[in-house]
Amino acid sequence: MNTLIAVAIAPFGVGDELAPYVAEAVRVIRDSGLPYRTTSMFTEIEGEWDEVMAVVKEATFALAKQGIRTEVVLKADIRPGHTDTINRKIEKVDELLA
């Protein structure tokens, strides 16, 4: 079933600069081949539920396996019968604003 998630994966106790650690998690997401978009607060990933959740787990464990305490914030939109919602949601809003 098609799933669009917004996920934030962040380390704790590594200092003030989190970008190198966030980049490690985003690299796993990017390398998954699933459609994704990274913003300043979240990364969105779209695909089948099991595929998306496996990528979230792998990205989380990329930090946790280093002994880093890791927080995951996740929001999911499961919408049967729809695809490409990562783009279509934005397009619909842009059309209304035009």
The tens digit of pLDDT for each residue in 27-60 reads 999 999 999 999 999 999 999 999 999 999 999 9
Residue 10 pLDDT: 94
Residue 35 pLDDT: 98
**Quick check: pTM over 0.85?**
yes
Query: Nearest 5°: phi and psi at 29?
Result: -65, -45
> Could you tell me which of 34, 40, 81 has the C-alpha nearest to residue 56?
34
Task: Please report, as a single letter, which amino acid is at residue 35.
Answer: P
CATH class for domain 2-97?
alpha beta
Domains in the chain: boundaries: 2-97
Q: What is the CA radius of gyration of the chain?
A: 14
Residue 83 DSSP SS3: coil
